[in-house]
Homo-oligomer: A and B are copies of this chain.
Amino acid sequence: MNAQSAASPAATLLVCVTCKSEQGPLGAGLFAALADRLAGEMDIALRPIECLSVCKRPCTVALAAPGKWTYVVGDLTREAHVEDIVIAARRYAASPGGIVPWRERPISFRKGVVSRTPPLALTDASLS
């Protein structure tokens, strides 16, 4: 795990708290479980978000940090994937650019990728 100060977390984990299925709300419960699990992990900033616009693949989370690629990942549940999300967030936090090697990603994070977007600084640098 990367040793950074709390003021500059190596990963922000965004959890869509409005994600739901036909049976009822899902995202808020996943967020609560992750808040318990990540308490005290200063490297990972957990944040609730109202809608990541991936409504067909609940629950959805995103990993982001300054200077890193942002990953949006869906098809995650409180029942099955809390540990996967914690592992993925730690590896993302430890990665310099946000791209975790494929084999180091939990299976759910390989199958569930919705999108990735580069840090803007990278796209500007590609011009020069």
Chain A residues at the B interface, C-beta cutoff of 8 Å = 12, 14, 45, 47-49, 51-54, 60, 62, 64-66, 70-72, 113-118, 120, 123-124, 126-127
28 sampled A-B residue pairs with Cβ under 8 A:
A12-B120, A14-B117, A14-B118, A45-B123, A47-B126, A49-B118, A49-B123, A52-B116, A52-B117, A53-B113, A53-B114, A53-B115, A53-B116, A54-B115, A60-B115, A62-B115, A64-B117, A64-B120, A66-B120, A70-B70, A70-B117, A72-B72, A72-B114, A72-B115, A114-B114, A114-B115, A115-B115, A117-B117
Residue of B nearest to A127 (CB): B47
Query: Residues of B contacting A126 with CB < 8 Å?
Result: 47-48
Are the C-beta atoms of B72 and A120 separated by less than 8 Å?
A: no
Are the C-beta atoms of A54 and B123 separated by less than 8 Å?
A: no
